[in-house]
């Protein structure tokens, strides 16, 4: 029997209550690991997964306290998501981009806060409504509802 991909073993399974709560607000979706994961799967189908990856990288950076680690992570985030040369570049306005460019001289764990908010808002307004109407969401909701009925 072939081994399961290790990624699948680590994925959190949401409860029916959680999945229903995602429909109430984007914040409810983003606050749960299972919600972020399901939304990320959906974003992958829309070729905009980099938005979630950037948001998650910013969250991780905010929890960092070590100055050299902050500088290293900020540089990686910049190269992966802010640099115009990156294939995973996120869509930011020029004002936010300029502020980041100036602050990269001495980055803090909050260097990407404005950019992160811009991407969060973009996902909320643009991708979230489509996610709520997607087969990804509806199939998950249906399968959990069926399991609840069986139990």
Q: How far apart are CA 137 and CA 32, in angstroms?
A: 15
pLDDT tens readout for residues 58-96: 999 999 999 999 999 999 999 999 999 999 999 999 999
Answer yes or no: pTM beyond 0.75: yes
pLDDT tens readout for residues 102-121: 999 999 999 999 999 999 99
**What's the helix, strand, coil split of the chain in %, to 5?**
70, 0, 30
- Pick the closest to residue 91 from 63, 125, 60 (CA basis): 125
Beta-carbon contacts of residue 100 (< 8 Å; ≥ 6 apart) = 78, 82, 92, 111, 112, 114, 115
Domains of the chain: 14-150 (1.10.167.10)
């Amino acid at each position: 029997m072939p081994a399961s991909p290790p990624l699948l073993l680590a994925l959190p399974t949401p409860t029916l209550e959680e999945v229903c709560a995602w429909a109430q607000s984007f914040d409810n979706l983003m606050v749960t690991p299972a919600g972020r994961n399901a939304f990320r799967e959906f974003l992958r189908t829309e070729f905009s997964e980099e938005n979630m990856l950037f948001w998650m990288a910013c969250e991780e950076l905010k929890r960092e306290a070590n100055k050299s680690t902050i500088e290293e992570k900020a540089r990686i985030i910049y190269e992966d998501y802010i640099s115009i040369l990156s294939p995973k570049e996120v869509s930011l306005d020029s004002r936010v981009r300029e502020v980041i460019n100036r602050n990269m001289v001495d980055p803090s764990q909050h260097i990407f806060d404005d950019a992160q908010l811009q991407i969060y808002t973009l996902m909320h307004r643009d991708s979230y409504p489509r996610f709520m109407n997607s087969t990804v969401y509806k199939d998950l909701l249906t399968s959990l509802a069926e399991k609840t009925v069986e139990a």
